[in-house]
Amino acid sequence: MDLLRIVARPALAAPFIVDGIDALARPKRHAEKFEKVQPVLEKAGLPPVLHSDAELLTRISGAVSVVAGLGLATGRAPRTCAAVLATLNIPLTLVNNPVWAVKGQDARKQAMSGLMRSAAIG
C-alpha cells in the first residue's frame, strides 16, 4: 500500500468516526437538530418520529458511522465502507445544514457552506 493510502484513508475517515462517537455519547444534541427539520420531512411524506425514536436513530447512525469509518481507516472493505459512509452522509448533511429553514443571510451562508463541505466529503 502506498503512502497516500496510508495517510488519506484515516484522514478521510476521522470526521465520520468522531461524529459517530459524539452521536453515541450525546444523542440528544443530534436528535434536536433532527427535530428542527422534522416538520419539513413530514410534509415531504416521512412518517412522524418520536423524540425517543430520534435518539435511537441517532445512536444507530453513530454506530454505523464509527464501524464504517474504522473499516475505511484500516483498509478493511474500504469500498463498502466508503459507500456506507456516503449513503449515510446524505440525510445527515441535509439534517445538519437545513438551508431552506434558516433565516438571515449570514446564517444561510453558514448553512450553505456546511452543506457544500459535507457534500464534498461524502
Of 77, 74, 94, 80, nearest to 34 (Cα)? 94
pLDDT of 53 reads 81
pLDDT of 51 reads 53
H or E segment at 14? helix 3-25
> Residue 85: pLDDT above 80?
yes
Of 82, 114, 117, 89, nearest to 19 (Cα)? 89
φ/ψ of residue 50, rounded to 5: -75, 160
Percent of the chain, pLDDT > 90? 34
As given in the structure block, the three cell numbers for residue 21 are 462517537
Please report which confidence band the pLDDT of residue 122 belongs to, taking 50, 70 and 90 as the band edges: low
Cβ partners under 8 Å of residue 119, min gap 6 = 93
Mean pLDDT for all residues in the chain: 82
How confident is the model over 17-67, as pLDDT tens digits? 999 999 999 998 888 877 777 777 677 777 776 656 888 888 999 999 999
> Residue 12: pLDDT above 70?
yes
